[in-house]
Amino acid sequence: MALMERVSTLVRANLNDLVDQAEDPDKMLKQVMLDMQNQLMQVKTQVAIAIADQHLLTKKRTEQEEKAADWVRKAELAVSKGEDDLARVALERSLQCGSAADGYREQVDNQTVQVENLKAALRKLQDKLAEAQTKCDALAAQHRRARALAKAGDAQVDESTLERVKSKVGMAEAVSHGKSEMAAISIEDRLASLDKQDQVERLLTEMKARKSN
């Protein structure tokens, strides 16, 4: 049956291979789980229907067996009353009911096999669904770790950028400070030069004064 073939395909699926081959493993696993859940509901429904049919066939088999036994009792009663013709009819009816019971018995046996197969498929699918759920949870955790590492990497990049900016600011401050120091040195040199000129002029004046005396 088509349902059992679909279940077998899902059960045989190697989730590790599917994860390795999928472009989006998380999305793929969720889809597989959705398919499994859908198939699980269908299998549960089929199991319930198969069990109901099994009970119905068993009931019909039992009814035919009881009818066959009842016709045998009627045949015995007819014989005890000397009614052989009625006994023959009763026995014929008993054989018909016995044959019907045998037919139902065969159907019950076949239905029992079908029920067991469906139950086994249901158990396998439930196990596979639990496995898929575990892998999905593990994959989600793996993705969360990957995103956390990516954010940490971004943070490191931002920190590196900040350090470069701070370095540039520090260099600019150093250059500005250097320029200020150079400007201060230039002013001091000019003032010292003026002081020397004053001294030279004063010495020159004193020298001229001594010569004139």
64-79 pLDDT tens trace:
999 999 999 999 999 9
Given a cut of 80, whether residue 209 has pLDDT beyond it is no
Given a cut of 80, whether residue 82 has pLDDT beyond it is yes
Q: Note the pLDDT tens digit of each residue in 95-128.
A: 999 999 999 999 999 999 999 988 888 888 888 7
Given a cut of 70, whether residue 13 has pLDDT beyond it is no
Sign of the torsion formed by the C-alpha atoms of 28, 33, 39 and 42: negative
Dihedral class, residue 90 (left if φ above 0, else alpha if ψ from -120 to 50, else beta): alpha
Q: What percent of the chain has pLDDT over 90?
A: 31
Domain 2-150 grouped into CATH 1.10.540? no
At residue 134 the predicted structure's pLDDT band, cuts being 50, 70 and 90, is confident
Give the tokens for residue 127.
């196990």
Residue 81: φ, ψ to 5°: -95, 0
* Residue closest to 119 by CA, chosen among 127, 26, 89, 174: 127
- Give me the pLDDT at residue 10, please: 58
- Give me the pLDDT at residue 5, please: 63
Residues 6+ apart with CB under 8 A from 98: 64, 65, 68
Give the tokens for residue 146.
């990957």
Q: How many CA atoms lie within 13 A of 25 on its CB side?
A: 18
CA distance 80 to 88: 13
Chain centre distance of CA 79: 75
Give pTM, 2 decimals: 0.56
For residue 61, how many other CB atoms are within 10 A of its CB? Answer: 19
Average pLDDT over residues 144-173: 62
Q: What percent of the chain has pLDDT over 70?
A: 56
Give the tokens for residue 147.
């995103």
CA distance 25 to 37: 18
DSSP-derived 3-state class of residue 82: coil
Given a cut of 60, whether residue 155 has pLDDT beyond it is no
- Give me the pLDDT at residue 42, please: 86
